[in-house]
Structure 1
Amino acid sequence: MRRQRLKLLALIAIFAVPMIVAWAMVEWRIGIPEQRTAHGELAPEVPGLAEWPLDGGRDALKPGDWVLAFDCSRDCEMLADQWWRLHRALGREAPRVSRLRIGGEGPALPGESLAQWARTPDWQTPGRLWVLDPRGEVVLTYTGEVEARDVLDDVNRLLRMNRDNPGASELEVGQR
């Protein structure tokens, strides 16, 4: 009878101890990293791309792509070149990302879509960059003073964590 009770207590401990340890970690902040993994800011108040007051530009974006949208109302030539270089630095992941330049003068750089603000929204500031997911929702936002290296780190992390479905192309081949 004693052996059965020990087995029951061991079984209860297997499930209870991790819960107690997790609760203690959260309650007393033990073993939880304090560092940030993203350099950008979350912006839940920014609506999805479909609701942005834009003239043009959205139709040229490829469906299913991540989007780097940036406001080009000041220092446009420098910003456009900076985000073009970042796009090139993505290497083999670059085809998964599109760039949307909002505002500014001059022709579009390769792989860039142009749009203008129909009206300026209250959440927009000059030089701001937004990273949007394939559904058009804002994932991260950056001020105009952000380092391109920090944005590259974040975009690489997002692309790595959100891989394309590798089985999708195999499924299409199998259906032919």
Structure 2
Amino acid sequence: MHSRRHNQRQRIKLVMIFAVFSLPMVAAWGMVQWEVGIPDRHMAHGEVGVQLPSLNEWPLTVNTESSEDTWTLAFDCTQLCEQRMDEFWRLHRALGREAPRLTRLRIGGDSQALPGEVTSQWRQEPDWQEDNNAWLFDPFGRPALLFDASVPAADILNDIRHLFKVNPI
């Protein structure tokens, strides 16, 4: 009888140990699966894993070679161009001392370039291009994030700040 209670206690201890180590994994899986309890500040507002050619392969009228420490924010300026230019100019200024790490590339529009902005036109509009999209490229010209027209500039700024923080010079 004593041996039977001892075996039951050992089994209960084993089940408790298993539960203690497996419950966090189950909870984490549930958080990811149903997007519950995930802090917003750690999620990109843009689309990650963009399957686009590198920036130097884009059909643009300017040379888009970037330096090894400069990220590029390219944006299509087909519609609401003045507003989009102003939003990204303010975004660039909001970076403060990190601003030299970003170059703005405006594609389209007839307006004069704002300070810190490079202008270009499509030589031939690619099939993956959508009006008013913005793309963030790493210093090697590889696409990092895609932002559609509905993403506010403040969210784009947050993503850029996060990338600068995790990718120091």
Provide the residue aligned with 1:97 in structure 2.
102
- Flag the structure with larger Rg: 2
Contact 1:39 1:154 in 2 (8 A): yes
Q: Distance in 2 between matches of 1:28 and 1:102?
A: 42
Secondary structure at the aligned position of 2:47 is classed as coil
Count of paired positions:
145
Q: Distance in 1 between matches of 2:28 and 2:149?
A: 37
Q: Distance in 2 between matches of 1:28 and 1:71?
A: 38
| Unaligned runs of at least 5 residues, structure 1 | 1-16, 165-176
Cα distance, 1:64 vs. partner?
Answer: 2.5
Cα distance, 1:38 vs. partner?
Answer: 0.6
Cα distance, 1:44 vs. partner?
Answer: 2.9
Provide the residue aligned with 1:137 in structure 2.
142
State whether structure 2 residue 136 is matched by structure 1 residue 119. no
Counterpart AA for 1:91: G
Contact 1:71 1:127 in 2 (8 A): yes
Secondary structure at the aligned position of 2:48 is classed as coil
State whether structure 2 residue 112 is matched by structure 1 residue 107. yes
Cα distance, 1:50 vs. partner?
Answer: 1.2
Task: Give the one of 54, 58, 63 matched to 2:64.
Answer: 58
1:18-97 alignment, distance < 5 Å: 21=21, 25=25, 29=29, 34=35, 35=38, 37-58=43-64, 61-97=66-102
TM-score if structure 2 supplies the norm length?
Answer: 0.76
Q: Distance in 2 between matches of 1:137 and 1:80?
A: 23
| Unaligned runs of at least 5 residues, structure 2 | 1-16
Q: Extract structure 1 runs of 4+ deviating beyond 6 A.
A: none
Contact 1:25 1:31 in 2 (8 A): no
Contact 1:103 1:117 in 2 (8 A): yes
